[in-house]
């Protein structure tokens, strides 16, 4: 993947974050999502690449932009597969809650699992605990193994879990072990990635969340030597048919990191929209705004945090309506 694309992709998530940040706390998650999608799609048109959306806003008949199979860029080399979530945490933005991000992952062609829009049971850790988790093992065994790898007491381990009725038993068992829990209402990509970022305060992410979001997080964790395992969690026959249509024959397969992302030629970018453990949110001031973006490159293992100041008085060539 061209090294020069690094900043181009960072600009894409920045644009989506800036657009959706205008809707923080305004109670309209659809407007916030639409703004992020439009901004992200506009920036893709400026990039020299032959990209194909493999994880996006839905099928062609479900989404006008960033739909699965849509071609992005100007058609020039390199050929890339693209996974996007222009606004991960629509409810978080609508309610002004922490943790919303604009996120994308890019690989060489056929580098990402084409995950159907359904649930996935997941477990994720950073580099120090890689090789110490097993989705099929008892909760307590995973907690003990991760604590040992991190040289921590169980009481000092912090686990992120989505606050859902389906997780009540999981939450109860983690609490009984003595571990600390950080419950989140939405958006499990950022916490999964945060497992691999020193100083984030998060050690482990467990539970059932979105399948496409699992692939996005796996791309980031592969960049830095972390680990994720997953298993699709269909709710009905329609989910199973959707997975089969994407070429997934064994719906019950334990998906290792190589199954989710099978290449090191990865680029990952995420920009904070609202404040979170991984990224600061967009802040507006008199003449513009400030964004906080994480960019990773798998081939080199490089992790960059970029703080950008955007001056709205100086409109860029590709200005986004409602942002600049």
Q: Strand runs (DSSP E) across 8-118, as ranges?
A: 50-55, 71-72, 79-88, 101-108
User: Is 188 annotated for ligand binding?
Assistant: yes
User: Is 89 annotated for ligand binding?
Assistant: yes
User: Is 99 annotated for ligand binding?
Assistant: no
Task: Place 59 in a pLDDT band, splitting at 50, 70 and 90.
Answer: confident
pLDDT of residue 316: 60
* Dihedral pair phi/psi, residue 6, rounded to 5°: -55, -55
Antiparallel, parallel or unpaired: β 101-108 and 79-88: antiparallel
User: Is 110 annotated for ligand binding?
Assistant: no
Q: Residue range 223-228: average pLDDT?
A: 97
Task: Place 78 in a pLDDT band, splitting at 50, 70 and 90.
Answer: confident
* Domains parsed from the chain with CATH numbers: 4-110+265-319 (3.30.540.10), 119-260 (3.40.190.90)
Taking a C-beta distance cutoff of 8 angstroms, is the pair 201, 226 a contact?
no
State the chain's mean pLDDT as an integer: 93
User: Is 222 annotated for ligand binding?
Assistant: no
Torsion sign (Cα): 232, 237, 242, 243 = positive
Looking at residue 310, the DSSP 8-state letter turns out to be: E
User: Is 70 annotated for ligand binding?
Assistant: no
User: Is 33 annotated for ligand binding?
Assistant: yes
pLDDT of residue 76: 86
User: Is 85 annotated for ligand binding?
Assistant: yes
Task: Place 46 in a pLDDT band, splitting at 50, 70 and 90.
Answer: confident
User: Is 258 annotated for ligand binding?
Assistant: no
Please state the pTM of the whole predicted model.
0.94
pLDDT of residue 168: 97
User: Is 56 annotated for ligand binding?
Assistant: no
User: Is 235 annotated for ligand binding?
Assistant: no
DSSP 225-243: T-EEEEEEE-SSHHHHHHH
User: Is 62 annotated for ligand binding?
Assistant: no
56: nearest Cα among 41, 77, 45 = 41
* Dihedral pair phi/psi, residue 19, rounded to 5°: -65, -45
Torsion sign (Cα): 53, 57, 63, 64 = negative
pLDDT of residue 315: 64
Answer yes or no: is pLDDT of 300 > 70.
yes
User: Is 165 annotated for ligand binding?
Assistant: yes
Taking a C-beta distance cutoff of 8 angstroms, is the pair 69, 60 a contact?
yes
DSSP 58-78: S-TTT-SSS-TT-EESSSPSP
Residues 169-191 pLDDT 10s: 999 999 999 999 999 999 999 99
Return left, alpha or beta for 240; rule: phi > 0 is left, psi -120 to 50 is alpha, else beta. Answer: alpha
Q: First vs last Cα of the chain: how many Å apart?
A: 30
Q: Residue range 112-116: average pLDDT?
A: 92
User: Is 88 annotated for ligand binding?
Assistant: yes
Residues 242-277 pLDDT 10s: 888 888 889 999 999 999 999 999 999 999 999 998
Percentage with pLDDT > 70 across the chain:
95
CA distances from 111 to 2, 6, 27, 71, 266 (A): 16, 18, 37, 16, 8
User: Is 168 annotated for ligand binding?
Assistant: no
């Amino acid at each position: 993947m061209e090294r020069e694309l690094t900043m181009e992709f960072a600009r894409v998530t920045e644009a989506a974050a800036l657009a959706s940040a205008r809707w923080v706390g305004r109670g309209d998650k659809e407007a916030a999502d639409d703004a992020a999608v439009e901004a992200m799609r506009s920036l893709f048109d400026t990039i020299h690449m032959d990209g194909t959306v493999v994880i996006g806003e839905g099928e062609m008949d479900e989404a006008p932009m960033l739909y699965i199979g849509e071609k992005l860029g100007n058609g020039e080399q390199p050929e890339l597969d693209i996974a996007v979530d222009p606004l991960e945490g629509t409810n978080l933005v609508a309610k002004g809650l922490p943790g919303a991000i604009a996120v994308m992952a890019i690989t060489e062609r056929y580098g990402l699992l084409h995950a159907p829009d359904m649930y996935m049971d997941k477990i994720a850790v950073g580099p120090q605990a890689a090789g110490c988790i097993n989705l099929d093992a008892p909760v307590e065994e995973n907690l003990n193994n991760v604590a040992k790898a991190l040289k921590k007491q169980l009481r000092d381990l912090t686990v992120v879990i989505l606050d859902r009725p389906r997780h009540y038993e999981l939450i109860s068992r983690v609490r009984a072990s003595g571990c600390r829990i950080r419950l989140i209402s939405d958006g499990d990509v950022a916490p999964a990635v945060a497992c691999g970022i020193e100083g984030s305060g998060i050690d482990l992410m467990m539970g059932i969340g979105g399948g496409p979001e699992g692939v996005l997080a796996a791309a980031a964790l592969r960049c830095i030597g972390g680990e994720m395992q997953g298993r699709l969690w269909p709710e009905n026959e329609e989910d199973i048919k959707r997975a089969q249509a994407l070429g997934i024959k064994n719906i019950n397969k334990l998906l290792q990191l190589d199954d989710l992302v099978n290449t090191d030629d990865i680029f990952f970018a995420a920009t904070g929209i609202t404040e979170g453990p991984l990224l600061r949110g967009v802040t507006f001031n008199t003449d513009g705004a400030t964004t906080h973006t994480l960019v990773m490159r798998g081939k080199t293992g490089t992790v960059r945090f970029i703080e950008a100041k955007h001056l709205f008085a100086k409109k860029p060539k590709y200005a986004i309506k409602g942002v600049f």
